[in-house]
Amino acid sequence: METVRVSASKEYNVYIGSGFLSSLGERIKEIKNPCRAVIVSDDTVYSLYGGTVKKSLEKSGFTVCEFVFPHGEKSKSLLTFGEIQEFCAENSITRTDLFVALGGGVTGDLTGFAAASYLRGVDFVQIPTTVLAMVDSSVGGKTAVNLNAGKNLCGAFYQPIAVYADCETLSTLPEETFSEGCAEIIKYGMILDGDFLTFLQNNSIKDNIEKVIKRCVEIKRDVVNRDEFENGDRKLLNFGHTIGHAVEKCSNLTISHGNAVSIGMVIAARGAYKTGMVNEDFTKVLLPVLEANSLPVKCEFSAEELYAAALSDKKRSLDTISLIVPEKYGLCKIQKVSVKDLKEFIKQGLN
């Protein structure tokens, strides 16, 4: 078992290993006295792993209740958020109890925000079960739900008290969902770690999954330790996301986050080169590694459609938008772009 320690406004460990789900209760008991535990999970994940987690928590003295919601991005909504709050109130959950997020990024973001808000803040643990959630969303404390206007527009920075990534759960992940997580993995190599990017170009992610997850969590940990509340460096983690979120929005959330980020990174790299922001075209690095991991690199939406969707992105401040663009091999920079120039940037990035 590998451990990565995060030192943000809250200090906590991220555990990465295989086959420890059935002893989770014992592990959580090391940091939290037995209490009432609310497992929040989607229907797919709960049917696969809910029973094991519940049994393990009960064996260690926790009293468990569960809130299960329909899988998919559309559940990351104010509606489901409200249902969780009401469920907790009806079940007399108190401030000293515990939320347990069991699932992918949708579950983690939703549960984290519910934990941040219920009684003004209840402890929560993340048990990520997708590649994407293990390498990215479970670590660093960004929690949110989507609004009609765009992704993640309502949320909070709220750190978990621990993260338990059991890679054995990835064995049931559909191939496509596994690939979607690879977009965020490649993102880390592109923004901050050339050696890691080279490793990804030459090796299979699947065959090295624990090592890859650990490296991604370390990179994210370092960024979050420096800039938890995204006043500077943390913006780098949004590489591919401004346009990616626009892709998700244009697709009415039918294109997954990972696939949208893949497309967003390509548009950002190409747009940056063709508009003269950077001297090198890093699509030559990006395209082969994304395609080798079965990720999409093209988009069916027009520059006009993406532009309109991107304008509601929360990273917009007044009349500028922060874009993350690859400047060197394994290094991105934050580039402010005026809103009026964004459409041309997207247009150039599309082809």
| 238 assigned to active site | yes
Nearer to ligand GLY, 73 or 136 (CB): 136
Distance in Å, CB of 273 to ligand NAD, minimum:
25
Binding site for ligand GLY (CB under 6 A): 136, 140, 142, 234, 237-238
Is 230 catalytic? The answer is yes
User: Active site includes 71?
Assistant: no
Residues within the interface to ligand NAD (CB under 6 A): 42, 44-45, 48, 71-73, 76, 103-107, 109, 129-130, 132-133, 136-137, 140, 142, 151-152, 169, 172-173, 177, 180, 256-258
Strand pairing class (320-328; 316-317): antiparallel
Residue 220 bears catalytic tag = yes
Q: Please return the burial class of 33, using the count of CB atoms within 10 Å of its CB with bins 0-12, 13-18 and 19+.
A: exposed
Distance between CA atoms of residues 41 and 50, nearest Å: 8
Q: How far is the CB of 251 from ligand GLY (least distance, A)?
A: 19
184 is catalytic: yes
Nearest residue (beta carbon) to ligand GLY: 237
Strand arrangement of the beta sheet that strand 316-317 belongs to = 316-317, 320-328, 331-338
Q: Which of 73, 180, 228, 230 is catalytic?
A: 230
- In angstroms, give the least distance from the CB of 244 to ligand GLY: 11
Binding partner selected for residue 335 from ligand NAD, ligand GLY, none, CB under the kind-specific 5 to 8 Å limit: none
Q: Residue 38 burial by CB count (10 A; 0-12/13-18/19+): exposed, middle or buried? A: buried
Given the residues 32, 215, 234, 249, select the one marked as catalytic: 234
Q: Does the active-site annotation cover 241?
A: yes
Q: Is 142 annotated as catalytic?
A: yes
68 closest CA partner among 36, 96, 110: 110
Q: Quick one: what does residue 173 bind among ligand GLY, ligand NAD, none, with the CB cut-off 5 to 8 Å set by partner type?
A: ligand NAD
Task: Work out what residue 234 binds among ligand GLY, ligand NAD, none; the CB cut-off runs from 5 to 8 Å by kind.
Answer: ligand GLY
Among residues 333, 321, 198, 180, the alpha carbon closest in space to that of 263 is found at 180
Q: Is 66 a catalytic residue?
A: no
Evaluate whether 113 touches 143 at the Cβ level (below 8 Å): yes
Give residue 179's Cα distance to chain centre: 14
**CA neighbours within 13 Å on the CB side: how many for 220?**
27
Catalytic residue among 32, 215, 220, 249: 220
In sequence order, what DSSP letters do the residues of 22-86 get, joined into one string? GGHHHHHHTTS-S-EEEEEEEHHHIIIIIHHHHHHHHHTT-EEEEEEE-SSGGGSBHHHHHHHHH
Give dist(CA 66, CA 191) in Å, integer.
38
Cβ of residue 202: shortest distance to ligand NAD, in angstroms? Answer: 25
Residue nearer to ligand GLY on the CB measure, 215 or 234: 234
Identify which of residues 140 and 271 has a Cβ nearer to ligand NAD in the complex: 140
Which C-beta is closer to ligand NAD: that of 147 or that of 277? Answer: 147
- Shorter beta-carbon distance to ligand GLY: residue 71 or 142: 142
Catalytic residue set: 120, 142, 184, 220, 230, 234, 238, 241, 245, 257
